[in-house]
Amino acid sequence: MKTWSLSLSLFVAFAFLFGVSPLVLKAQTGPAAPEKADPAQQKLAAEEMGLIDSVVSARELYLKNMEKLVAFYAHAQNNIKLRMATEELDSLKKTTRQDYVIIGETLGPNLHPQKSIPDAEKLYQQARLLDDNPDLGKADENKKKALDLYLELMSRFPESIRIADSAFYSAVIYENTIKDYYRAVIYYQRTYEWDPLTSHPAQIQAARICFSKLNENGMARRLYEAASNSAAGTPTDRAEAKSMTGLLKAWGF
């Protein structure tokens, strides 16, 4: 999956500093009320983004310097140190580099867009075609490409009426294809926060992940309770939500 430019992500992050803190998962179960910027949250978000920027810059500098060192030893014909530097460079390239900027977090929960934006609609339709592509041999690849488009849409067009749908389908891909359950929960939450009337069963999906994958039982109970009273989802989903709410309450959550 391609990486979005850090500058765009950082801009979005600072533009919406007063959203939910990316340091903590919150179980918001109903429409988010407009709220004033919290100076403490702003400070934490600004500090986090500064640290992320420093980490990314350090990664890039480290990689460039290792490449220069390998080239130096190759030119100097120092085969022993060339092998050492090459091994370190290869290890560095194989290291997983986490992306700590999550668009769904930086945008916050309080968006309720009403605008139909042609460019956003174009991105959304492209993403849906890739997401629903029946080519099983490229299913994962196409879903990751679709995810890139959903994320681009949310980042570039936060006023578009398509951001809640994009959040839901992003969550599905994070959950089922990428297995990143933290991000999946974030985008399921944003789905119903950005569109309280959504027909997507986002709350119960978030609850299931919190319970079965993240061991966040208190949060799962609150989400299940909200899902038991939600118009989204099937009667079976609501029955499950009611049953799980009772079970988790009995466990003390």
The model carries a pTM of: 0.74
- Given 3-state DSSP classes, what are the helix, strand and coil percentages for the chain, each rounded to the nearest 5? 70, 0, 30
Residues 6+ apart with CB under 8 A from 200: 164, 165, 168, 191, 192, 232
Looking at residue 179, its pLDDT comes to 96
Q: How far apart are alpha carbons 66 and 68 in whole angstroms?
A: 5
Region label for 230, one of left (φ > 0), alpha (ψ between -120 and 50) or beta (otherwise): beta
Looking at residue 10, its pLDDT comes to 44
Q: How far apart are alpha carbons 64 and 84 in whole angstroms?
A: 16
pLDDT, tens only, 13-71: 444 433 433 334 554 444 444 445 578 877 887 888 889 889 989 999 999 999 999 99
Give me the DSSP letters along 69-110.
HHHHHHHHT-HHHHHHHHHHHHHHHHS-------HHHHH-S-
Q: How far apart are alpha carbons 113 and 161 in whole angstroms?
A: 5
Q: How far apart are alpha carbons 149 and 37 in whole angstroms?
A: 29
Helices marked H in 98-201? 103-107, 118-131, 139-156, 163-173, 181-194
Instruction: Please enumerate, as own/partner, the contacts of 61-70 that have beta carbons within 8 Å and a separation of 24 or more.
Output: 62/92, 63/89, 63/92, 63/93, 66/92
Q: How far apart are alpha carbons 28 and 186 in whole angstroms?
A: 11
| 3-class secondary-structure state, position 194 | helix
Looking at residue 30, its pLDDT comes to 46
**Which residue ranges in the chain fall short of pLDDT 50?**
2-24, 27-35
CA-nearest of 159, 150, 154 to 106 is: 154
Q: How far apart are alpha carbons 119 and 124 in whole angstroms?
A: 9
Q: How far apart are alpha carbons 23 and 61 in whole angstroms?
A: 26
Looking at residue 26, its pLDDT comes to 52
Q: Which amino acid is at 29?
A: T
How is residue 54 written in tokens?
A: 């420093």
How is residue 228 written in tokens?
A: 């038991």
| 3-class secondary-structure state, position 160 | strand
